[in-house]
């Protein structure tokens, strides 16, 4: 499982995704964790450790592609997707099901493709 497979399926919009930065974040997250920070409800800064397996990361990139469909205007850059931990937006069961439905050629959900034909 490599970064290049994630890069291939992720729904990039224009030049928002920076490949070198995205690769560095991917490598950190999938090999020990990426330390980052967020604000809690009170506005206090909280340290977070983002970790994910390469397999789960690929499934999350596919899920992001399917959720956006053809409208990529509001897609975050890949480095933002990684840094904000958006790969954790889906449960493992949802990711597994979505990965099974993923159409690599169109980056869309197989059921969607049947519905629009």
Per-residue pLDDT of 25-48, as tens digits, reads 999 999 999 998 888 889 999 998
pLDDT at 105 exceeding the cut of 70: no
* Least reliable range by pLDDT among 36-45, 46-55, 62-71: 62-71
pLDDT band at residue 101 using 50, 70 and 90 as cut-offs: confident
pLDDT band at residue 21 using 50, 70 and 90 as cut-offs: very high
User: What is the predicted pLDDT for the residue at 93?
Assistant: 86
Q: What is the mean pLDDT of the chain?
A: 81
User: If we measure between CA atoms, which residue out of 102, 34, 36, 41 comes closest to residue 68?
Assistant: 102
Contact 79, 17 (CB under 8 A): yes
Domain count of the fold of the chain: 1
User: If we measure between CA atoms, which residue out of 112, 68, 70 comes closest to residue 89?
Assistant: 68
Q: How far are the Cα atoms of 1, 80, 111 from residue 87, in angstroms, in the given order?
A: 16, 10, 22
pLDDT at 51 exceeding the cut of 70: yes
User: What is the predicted pLDDT for the residue at 68?
Assistant: 76
CA 117 to CA 22: how far, in whole Å?
35
Quote the domain boundaries for residue 33.
3-116
Quote the pTM value.
0.76
84 versus 101: the higher-pLDDT residue is 84
Q: What is the mean pLDDT of residues 49-67?
A: 89
């Amino acid at each position: 499982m490599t970064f290049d497979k994630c890069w291939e399926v992720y729904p990039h919009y224009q030049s928002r995704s920076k490949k070198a930065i995205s690769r560095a974040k991917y490598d950190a997250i999938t090999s020990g964790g990426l330390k980052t920070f967020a604000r809690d409800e009170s506005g206090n800064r909280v340290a977070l450790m983002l970790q994910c397996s390469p397999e789960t990361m690929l499934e999350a990139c596919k899920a992001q592609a399917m959720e956006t469909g053809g409208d990529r205007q509001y897609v975050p850059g890949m480095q933002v997707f990684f840094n904000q931990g958006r790969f954790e937006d889906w449960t493992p069961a949802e990711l597994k099901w979505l990965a099974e439905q993923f159409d690599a050629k169109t980056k869309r959900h197989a059921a969607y493709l049947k519905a629009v034909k």
